[in-house]
Structure 1
């Protein structure tokens, strides 16, 4: 699954790497992530919030496809429609399946197959340092997302398994 999240930037974030997301009305940066079906991070890209989802998705999907060769299908929301679907199929050999909202849905509704990436963003919000973007560089912000993911994976590995009786 691919999705993005806009977060407010702190005062230490330079004007060159921050922008205004008109859809969410947030001045800061945007986290673009690709997660697998378990909600584990496959790739992250931090951009200015003014950068569109389709533009950043081309860079992120190329980066993820180069590392994860078995990746064949990516679910996305309606913000990733357009020429990105053809780009993914022709250039990256990825099928980009768009999961759209039906006309009768109102408010915030988690779409089928996409709740995994929403759960990932909820986990990021549990890390105090990621609630707001405090990092000077985008590379540092990406490292903090990886660090938070490492904490999640170690918790899952250390969780005691129920014994089978």
Structure 2
């Protein structure tokens, strides 16, 4: 992490309990070193035990990762970064529209049979990442399931969570796999318009579809993080946390860029 990134990140970090008078002991390693270690693992796809000696011991880094995962601190940190990125882009801190889609990825051998499945459409044995992003391509929520879980069934749960957390959200674009009763459910139960962007039958080859390209660009970013090319996580919670960590790297680099001068 560059000094410019750290200057932006430091005020957004959750405050440790011992600093708020809630007990506990000061941590042995600074947050910057811990964040750099996790970002290195996500970006390069290394094993926990193969953490380079430049970083704190791997078991201390994993304990930090596990604590932030279990207490939802990585999502809190991620959401604070997302609001900052949106505000610097001249947008409201909370989005009014988004895009939903899913991505199936192969699972490593450490992934148990209870959390993996076979996606017959993509011919992938592994897990599926269901995501909702805003119109800037920033993550609003992710839910990881076995690959054989249907998009509509997962979307009903995911969109319920997203609308509860982001009240201004009123419109979500989706592809043809989300048609059917889900559209009526979103309107009646969530006061959310689910707009289906369909591919025309006469289209041939690759065609950029309105709004859907935003979430495809998001998936392309995930594929640049080697830890996310496959699913290497033993638990669903860790798989979701890795997605949030990957997005924090994208956003810290974005907010650390100098703002263009205005004449």
| TM-score normalised to structure 1 length | 0.97
| Match in the other structure for 1:113 | 211
Distance of 1:36 and 1:162 partners within structure 2: 23
| Match in the other structure for 1:100 | 198
For the pair 1:129 / 2:227, whether they are aligned, the reply is yes
* Structure showing the higher helix proportion among its residues: 2
For the pair 1:30 / 2:128, whether they are aligned, the reply is yes
Aligned residues: 165
| Match in the other structure for 2:179 | 81
SS in 2 for 1:55: helix
Distance of 1:134 and 1:110 partners within structure 2: 31
Q: Deviation string for 1:63-110 (max 9, x for gaps)?
A: 101100000000000000000000100111100000000111124433
| TM-score normalised to structure 2 length | 0.61
Unaligned runs of 5+ in 2: 1-98
Higher mean C-alpha deviation, range 106-115 or range 24-33: 106-115
For the pair 1:164 / 2:256, whether they are aligned, the reply is no
| Match in the other structure for 1:144 | 242
Q: Once the 2 structures are TM-superposed, how far is the Cα of residue 113 of structure 1 from its aligned partner?
A: 1.2
For the pair 1:58 / 2:156, whether they are aligned, the reply is yes
SS in 1 for 2:131: strand
Q: Deviation string for 1:28-83 (max 9, x for gaps)?
A: 00000000000110010000000000000001000101100000000000000000
Distance of 1:160 and 1:121 partners within structure 2: 26
Distance of 1:67 and 1:135 partners within structure 2: 26
Which stretches of structure 1, 4 residues or longer, exceed 4 Å deviation after superposition? Answer: none
Q: Deviation string for 1:127-165 (max 9, x for gaps)?
A: 010000000011110000000111111011011233335
| Match in the other structure for 1:14 | 112
Distance of 1:108 and 1:27 partners within structure 2: 25
* Structure showing the higher strand proportion among its residues: 1
Distance of 2:196 and 2:219 partners within structure 1: 19
